[in-house]
Chain A
């Protein structure tokens, strides 16, 4: 079965500082991977998805970027954080044989 790891679990960063969130997946190969952001009262917003190494699609223009340096690693980055980047960030992996997305435990980011 798949396991998704996300770190850090919580992060407090000042405005203007850089960001790097990491997601790794075990128990599958060549998965589609997704980054979502969940802001208070706003549901889940898809930020990026990747269908393979080095292949990134952006859903929403913003100051965030994503990279997939390895098959089962997905990284979310920013050069300069904004207050509006605060939220709960979720990584997900697609389980093709079950037609469903499987979610990691999330990272709580607070920008101060």
Chain B
């Protein structure tokens, strides 16, 4: 079974500042990792995913994340945030074996607030 810990429930930053949203996972098998973004009263939108290969993954809206197997982490970063990045961000994990339920396990989310 897998689990995900998002270390910060809320992260306030100023516009144009860099941001890092932290995610750690636990799993006894190899994993796929995902970051989703949710704007108020909307569904979740995929930002980026790690399946295999390069540990630095680039996603939409200028976000990137780095998979660190030894530290079991998948932190999300953006070098310069905008007001429009204000949203809730979810880290998710699943085992890499295909077939069956393909269930995702989500963290509790991090609310990013970008202030002018």
Identify whether the interface residues of B are mostly helix, strand, loop, or mixed.
loop
* CB-CB nearest in chain B for A106: B43
**Cβ–Cβ contact B108 & A90, under 8 A:** no
Tally of A-B Cβ pairs under 8 angstroms:
49
Q: Could you write out 11 A-B pairs with CB less than 8 Å apart?
A: A4-B43, A34-B103, A42-B108, A43-B106, A43-B109, A49-B103, A51-B100, A90-B44, A101-B102, A105-B42, A106-B41
A32 to B100, CA, bound (A): 9
Partner of A100, one of B46, B100, B101, B108: B46
What 0/1 readout, one digit per residue, does chain A (73-112) give for beta carbons within 8 Å of chain B? Answer: 0000000000000001010101010011111111010000
Interface residues on B, range: 20 to 34
**Cβ–Cβ contact A44 & B32, under 8 A:** no
A46 within 8 A of B: yes
A92 to B102, CA, bound (A): 12
